[in-house]
Amino acid sequence: MSLLRLTFLGTSAAQPTLHRGLSGLAVKADADLLLFDCGEGSQRQMVRFGTGFTVDVAFFTHFHADHYLGIIGFLRTLGMTGRTEPMHLYGPPPARRLLHQAVHLGLESLAFPVEIHELKDGDVVRRGGYTVQAVGVDHRIHALGYVLAEDERPGRFHLEKARELGVPEGPSFGKLQRGEAVTLPDGRVVKPEDVLGMARPGRRLVISGDTRPCPALVQAAKDADLLVHESTFSDDEQTRAVETRHSTAREAAQVAKEAGAKRLILTHLSSRHDTDPGRLLTQAREAFKGPVEVAFDGLTVELPLRD
């Protein structure tokens, strides 16, 4: 997997504002396009920010209305554009019941199959070159965070070593780089470890969904390249955060600090912080010394490969 790019479709909590839409995150993982939540209006944001509609899989963190109602219209738009490929929808209980209702709402049936899967803490969805793991978090209803973990990548290819061993340039180089052994014309077998350096770790993207800070998320975000964490409230709204099972910006930053995450992006902002999230940013930076920013609709972030 070479490309790992995030586009924030909606960054507001509970209700849309003039400047922020409801929760939605598009992730381009090489050839795959994934959705994490699909709040009302997400498909318009996808047009606006140029992500395209070729979504392979949608993952839902939970089923409060502001996180999933957008899938109803989006599926119908896909049907009108002639889609025939299956769509896979994943989420915590009651995903099967609620998403079934969403899929079958209206008089016309969809022209493509939709597969609905319920996930629980620890479940892993295997994709090409990466996995998506569900993490049980602490919200008012069944809720999940997600870890997108890239597979370990082969070490660097040592061209001169391959030449010294007599490996002909061309397809044999590609086979070795993919981890396949090559048999030379004289019968010798060259193994990948003969010409490759140490394996390189894959990237880790962690998405909190709606949650209180919790040990499971800290563990999941260990050494993450990026933690996307909700920060609905500021310090002076701590009581409200506890009551609603949301997080403050400082608490999100503390999760990033304890996990050793490399970078933190705050999202899911209360309308109180809609146009001026400065307090959230200041409070988060007091707790976490790594790079921190507050997401806005249309923010695009590309995660570089690890060395």
| Residue 223 known to bind ligand | no
In whole angstroms, give the CA distance from residue 174 to residue 181: 10
For 13, 258, 291, the CA distances from 284, given in Å and listed in that order, are: 18, 13, 10
Let me know if 24 is exposed, middle or buried by CB neighbors in 10 A (0-12, 13-18, 19+).
buried
In whole angstroms, give the CA distance from residue 35 to residue 284: 26
Angle at 40 between CA 211 and CA 98, to 5 degrees: 70
Any catalytic annotation for residue 225? no
| Residue 100 known to bind ligand | no
Catalytic residue among 30, 37, 56, 66: 66
| Residue 194 known to bind ligand | no
| Residue 158 known to bind ligand | no
| Residue 268 known to bind ligand | yes
| Residue 142 known to bind ligand | no
**Would you say 197 and 156 are in contact if contact means Cβ atoms under 8 Å apart?**
yes
Strand pairing category for 32-38 and 57-59: parallel
Residue 292 pairs in a beta bridge with 264
| Residue 117 known to bind ligand | no
- Annotated binding-site positions for Zn(2+): 62, 64, 66-67, 139, 210, 268
Active-site annotation, residues:
66
